Amino acid sequence: MTILKLLSVFFLQLICVHVFLFDGINAQSLRVGFYNSTCPSIEAIVKNTTASFISRAPSLAPALLRMHFHDCFVRGCDGSVLINSTSGNQAEKDAIPNQSIRGFQVIDAVKSAVENICPSLVSCADILALVARDAVTLVNGPSWQVPLGRRDGRVSRSSDALANLPPPFANITQLKASFRSKGLSDKELAVLSGAHTIGVSHCNSFSNRLYNFTGRGDTDPSLDPNYIVRLRSKCSPTDATSIVEMDPGSAKTFDTSYYTLVRKRRGLFEADAALLNDNATRQYVLRQANSGGSNFFNDFAASMVKMGRIGVITGNRGEIRRICSAIN
């Protein structure tokens, strides 16, 4: 029996090594300029279409960036977050963490524009990666070259989203474990958290910090008391509809002020405050806050490229969806 158990562990380890090696090989298959010969206008089409939406509604920029993050953390960057539910399957986009995601109409419009010029060539997963980059750039954030060549996944399950997306109330141990499971470092956790420099949140994502943190009618001691007073003026205990800027005063501009807020104990979510509870993430927060974010843009660009390689499907696996919301 002991030998059988040892053999079982050994083979399980072999399987895990194989999966990680296979994912790594797939990630290395991505390259900048993947469509240069087959669809050379792809990036211009994506940027122009994305800009047409964000110029009218800048609040879509953080929504599209979040959509890419939620795609990559669940089954890898395979466009599975875009798939609609069916009578026999509840898809990722209908999982509780994804029910507030917006901007699917942007992806659909970009896909339609791309299909008109380059039919059945460009994956929805690649389109989402490009749209996220352009969304950030269009609100004064950094730009970066996006390695392309992803294929679209054929599986989308709400249970996978629930199991893989870190919640806004995650502590630092949970956050580090979540990011490490995707091959991302503790520094990259701190860097990508900086995406909270743009966007808004519904009150019920953090109101427990204001009114009932431990179930005793108390507040979160890690949150600045003066900020609690301000937030209470915007959010009642049962408010599920009002929204609050994550980075007050510059929530529509991608900048470095998020780290100053976190240093002042004014991060909106418990997951923001958690960055101060670990040496590596705390040092990154303090370094950016004290230097005016001197290297944040470069770090963010590099971290987005790395995140965009998580669990990708390449080669002949998966498919190129004709419509992003439905498997072919």
In the chain, the percentage of residues whose pLDDT exceeds 70 is 92
The number of beta carbons lying within 10 Å of the beta carbon of residue 26 is 20
Structural contact between residues 213 and 220, judged by C-beta atoms closer than 8 angstroms: yes
Structural contact between residues 257 and 250, judged by C-beta atoms closer than 8 angstroms: yes
**pLDDT of 19 higher than 90:** no
Q: Which pLDDT band holds residue 251 (cuts at 50, 70, 90)?
A: very high
218 labelled binding-site residue:
no
Q: Is 87 helix (H, G, I), strand (E, B) or coil?
A: coil
Cα–Cα distances in Å, from 233 out to 209, 215, 313? 14, 21, 47
Distance between terminal CA atoms of the chain? 47
Structural contact between residues 224 and 276, judged by C-beta atoms closer than 8 angstroms: no
In 3D space, the residue among 175, 178, 264, 167 whose CA is nearest the CA of residue 208 turns out to be 167
The number of beta carbons lying within 10 Å of the beta carbon of residue 69 is 18
188 labelled binding-site residue:
no
270 labelled binding-site residue:
no
281 labelled binding-site residue:
no
At 171-220, the pLDDT tens digits run 999 999 999 999 999 999 999 999 999 999 999 999 999 999 999 999 99
Q: What is the pLDDT of residue 238?
A: 94
74 labelled binding-site residue:
yes
Residue type, 163: A
Give me the mean pLDDT over the 257-262 stretch: 97
Residue type, 294: S
Q: What is the pLDDT of residue 190?
A: 98
Q: Does residue 70 have an active-site annotation?
A: yes
80 labelled binding-site residue:
yes
2 vs 85, residue with greater confidence: 85
255 labelled binding-site residue:
yes
CA dihedral of 126, 162, 318, 107, whole degrees rounded to 10: -30
Q: What is the pLDDT of residue 99?
A: 94
Give me the mean pLDDT over the 33-54 stretch: 98
Q: What is the pLDDT of residue 6?
A: 43
153 labelled binding-site residue:
no
Structural contact between residues 247 and 258, judged by C-beta atoms closer than 8 angstroms: yes
In 3D space, the residue among 251, 254, 229, 233 whose CA is nearest the CA of residue 242 turns out to be 233
**pLDDT of 8 higher than 60:** no
Average pLDDT, the chain: 93
Residue in 18, 68, 70, 202 annotated catalytic? 70
Q: Rounded to the nearest 5°, which phi and psi values hold at 244?
A: -130, 140
Token representation of residue 174: 């949970």
Q: Which pLDDT band holds residue 26 (cuts at 50, 70, 90)?
A: low
At 101-147, the pLDDT tens digits run 999 999 999 999 999 999 999 999 999 999 999 999 999 999 999 99
**pLDDT of 27 higher than 80:** no
278 labelled binding-site residue:
no
Q: What is the pLDDT of residue 294?
A: 87
Residues 160 and 139: their CA atoms lie apart, in Å, by: 31
DSSP characters over 261-277: HHHTT--SSHHHHGGGG
Distance from CA of residue 213 to its chain's centroid?
A: 26
